[in-house]
Structure 1
């Protein structure tokens, strides 16, 4: 097992939690840095930065290491999304570099967020008209606070379950003798992984649909989960703005894509999806 240098105390606790779990997966795999680089397509120096806390690894690197370690990548990706949302300021930066070579052992491939082309850039001389308020600001703030609390609770559950799973992993004790058999852990309370959604975009009666949901007025905001979110992610990608993965989770990447689309469409830029944004997405 590798002897790791202690992580900086300046790192956010959620970032430290992610890096601690990635270090354990790397140790459990039995690979050295060179072998890990060959398996994932990211260089040795990149992995030294990631696991040393100097750069936040990209989603693709986290998923690659999770698959090498034989664990479900969904929970680590949820933790990565929260860590990416808190990562920033000072000397910290998010590493968005692509791998130096192909990752031969990995089958699934996540679509990286492409750079928005010139057509998606807002006209600096055109200011979008603010959407008229339909409810008091106090009510809106209360709803957003509730959504944030629900997301925080879900993340805390994922962290607890991930820690329990890692504690029972088999680890090599260094002298060739296998470690004790892992304790039996009940999976009855483990939440199912996020469903995989497939975009089947087609135009019907002059409107765009992705084959997941036909809603045109449901309200979606940060923290929302479900097929309606996946439908919006597919339509954002059709419009040339990547929301990250099509996972049905309204996280920071999806919120960033919604704001970029609203700016381009001349809508009120609030990062949430309502009837006006649905109309623009389907039109």
Structure 2
């Protein structure tokens, strides 16, 4: 099971329950941050914030996690709706642009942090208005002018921040929208008494949980040929492929360790 940092003490109970449930689903599905990013469309950095309790995950991210882990999304959405009303209570909020997994449009995600107490300045002693009315009028006009100038400067800063922040915070298009996984096709053949899927040129390199690439796709094809489904032929050594490998090892009388080493490859190639 993954080891997480303690959740922020000021986190609302509903938000805390939502984050703890997300952690349980990730651990139960034996998913890494890289798997979450690949299968949900939200980056690994985003999932680190969601699971660390520093950012409220979008509803679409919850639905994607529930879909890949086989969980019921209704309780997650209910917790999300309650947490959304109380998230960040007593904490500062910062808007961060983050790409939507399907539309690719930038969406605002709220990050929270402890609120810093604001320093207060004792009010200056007001002049005697009745005695010097002209001074009162001049001071009032000066305060109004200063307030207008400050408001104009603030609006300008906010406008510039809206134009600059998304470009600085959002991931580049090449990484924000994850590239589609390579397409693998099983071309099962038997040469010199050995089975091959025609993907990794007959290599028997050791691969373990979390690996990706042609070697994993070759093993997935051969597992399917052996009558054991590894899920899709996507070249990702995830939970389904791990389960298929262990089932095959048990059936063949091999050490059930979930790793594809020389003996497991030899049995797969038959």
TM norm structure 1: 0.42
The structure whose residues are more often helix, as a share, is: 2
The higher-RCO structure (CA 8 Å, 6+ apart) is: 1
Given the two structures, how large is their TM-score scaled by the length of structure 2?
0.44
Of structures 1 and 2, the larger Rg is shown by 2
**Richer in strand (by share):** 2
